[in-house]
Amino acid sequence: MRRSDLGEFEEVVLLAVAALSPKAYSVVIAEELERETGNSVSTGAVHAALQRLEQKGYVSSFLGEATAERGGRRKRLFTVSALGGRILQDVRAVRNRLWERIDSHLLLDWQ
């Protein structure tokens, strides 16, 4: 697993791309992350994370159709690559194994 080169923010951006596909682009990704986390997320931070994810081969992008709402400009849409999907599965497996090792009485103490 190449988990060491996937930061926490990159992980949630990658998850948002998977959840929003095939309509994943920076603005809607930022809005989704704000909705899910309750924190402000800049589109610039999302752009930077998407560029890193694309360089690592975890996502691929293509230009969508021009839209009137964007003054005839095209959106850069992102999809998770096969490698990105494997990375997400690996990350999920690690987290699930760790959660399974936590005693249920501790979970009750945290509530």
Q: Residue 80's domain is classified under what CATH number?
A: 1.10.10.10
Q: Using one digit for the tens of pLDDT, what is the confidence trace for 73-83? A: 889 999 999 99
pLDDT at 4 over 70: no
Provide the pLDDT for residue 1: 45
**C-alpha 73, offset from chain centre:** 24
- Look at residue 70 in the predicted model and tell me its pLDDT: 67
Q: Is the pLDDT of residue 29 over 70?
A: yes
Count of the separate structural domains present in the chain: 1
Is 50 exposed, middle or buried, given 0-12, 13-18 or 19+ CB atoms closer than 10 A? buried
CA distance 84 to 21: 13
pLDDT of residue 108: 73
Q: pLDDT tens-digit profile of 46-105?
A: 999 999 999 999 999 999 887 777 677 889 999 999 999 999 999 999 999 998 888 777
**Do the Cβ atoms of 16 and 32 come closer than 8 Å?**
yes
Q: Do residues 17 and 62 make contact, with C-beta atoms less than 8 angstroms apart?
A: no
What pTM did the predictor assign? 0.86
- Give the HSE-up count for residue 68: Cα atoms under 13 Å, Cβ half-sphere: 0
Which domain range does residue 95 map to?
3-109
Length of the chain: 111
- C-alpha 31/C-alpha 52 separation (Å) is 20
Q: Are 76 and 53 in contact (CB under 8 A)?
A: no
The whole-number average pLDDT for the span 24-28 is 95
Give the pair of three-digit tokens for residue 42: 């800049």
